[in-house]
Chains A and B, each alone.
Chain A
């Protein structure tokens, strides 16, 4: 790209905000009542991680793998990519995350993080993704039919993914590498989404930015068994 320094974030935004939010409305209409199942699955992950150990973690990563694959195909590939050619790449990335999560679900060396505070932050992110994020549409003046639900829309799915992965630790080097890659993938999406939403003028962008900063901070502190 020549004269790259003359480009601003808005030069890469190729759709109007109303078009972006309509995507969720149409997606929700197409997949209702899958939302009920998605919220119940999210609650099951939340309760499982709150009460028990590695088995719940493997259940969580397995369910999230399904959610990730669903978002990749039905939203990013079939819907978002129609108005944003970069979304084809996002769909592949979410597909890769789904495969990684599935592999992670089979790893015996996947354990709950030792740090209690870190686990609480992870559960907090998960709680936000499953129960609070869908309410943002209403809170920010959009109709409830444009709600973003974890397992159906990319942002809350990525936040839920971060929540679960913050709660996890790895017993072997291979699992640690996989876990790190998946965390990086989820963080990258949160950063991309934050940039998109802020450029669109949506306050929701700051939520995604806050999630990114919080997750990075807790993972950095987590190295010292916080």
Chain B
């Protein structure tokens, strides 16, 4: 566990651990003042800073050839970069999400801020290279920043190939992903035995298993953590929407449940970035608000989880 500077609570430390993203910002867009204040975390293997809120694309960006819906997704990406966001995550499993992201990036112009997180998802490892190349072509990027083995599928064969790609400069980071608490024992074994830069897992106010072993292990082993399903694919927010915000939400600068849920996730010191998915600009802006202002300390995190579980 990292030690906090003397006299500084975790809440204070988290709230001040921000870095300016102005040099990384998208030159074509006017940056709101908030974009330079977003909370960032360092990727342990490189020290590179990424904002704690990213953008997922499961379901929300799978809109097919619908030009109206594609343009709506483009606006979400525009708002994401404008609010200081960087990490966009996708997978070949997500239907048309990859070409929709590519459509947005092409329309908006290449962004130097983009941190592209992709996955390889194929059991036959000999087809992995072709799949990754197809994904790259869909995104329209020269190369991916992060390539993850999706849902641990054939990870024993994929990981050495991804490491070789990283060594050859064709990737910057290598990772592995799972979701909804599946195969955590195997994920833990991989984290202990393999040299990986990232893991992706599910963590939210109600699904907290990762806090027991995986998040502490990630801190111990210097592995960055992407968190998927911070809203339980929307069902958590649907459930919470029926209740008023608790008093403590104001203490951490939250004006809605989405920010409460995200601040709970990203305030864990083992988490690098949460990747909520949305197809609406208004929701995107709410989500990005969770990267601003004070964060809950360990005691408040416990209270948040307890109160939400009781609702």
Q: Which residues of chain A have a CB within 8 Å of any CB of chain B?
A: 2-3, 6, 10-11, 13-16, 19, 22-23, 26, 79, 82-85
Contacts and interface: CB of A to CB of B under 8 A. Distances in A.
Interface of B: 58-60, 62-66, 69, 93-96, 180-183, 233, 279
B233 A15 contact: no
Given A15-B59, A79-B64, A82-B65, 11 more contacts: A6-B181, A15-B62, A15-B64, A22-B63, A22-B64, A22-B69, A23-B64, A23-B66, A26-B66, A82-B96, A85-B95
28 contacts: A2-B183, A3-B182, A6-B182, A10-B233, A11-B180, A14-B62, A14-B93, A14-B94, A15-B62, A16-B59, A16-B60, A16-B62, A16-B279, A19-B62, A19-B63, A19-B64, A19-B66, A19-B69, A22-B63, A22-B64, A22-B66, A23-B66, A79-B64, A79-B65, A82-B65, A83-B63, A83-B95, A84-B95
Contacts of B59: 13-16
A22 B65 CA distance: 10
Nearest to A26: B66
Nearest to A3: B182
* A interface majority secondary structure: helix
B62 A83 contact: yes
B134 to A, nearest CB: 13
Contacts of A11: 180
Contacts of A6: 180-182
Contacts of B58: 14
A79 B66 CA distance: 10
Contacts of B180: 6, 11
Best-surrounded residue of B66, B181, B233 (most CB of chain A within 10 A): B66
B287 to A, nearest CB: 17
Give the interface centre of A3, A15, A22, A26 by most chain B CB atoms within 10 Å.
A15
A4 B142 CA distance: 37
Given A3-B183, A15-B95, A22-B69, A83 B64 contact: yes
A197 B95 CA distance: 18
Nearest to A10: B233
Contacts of A85: 95
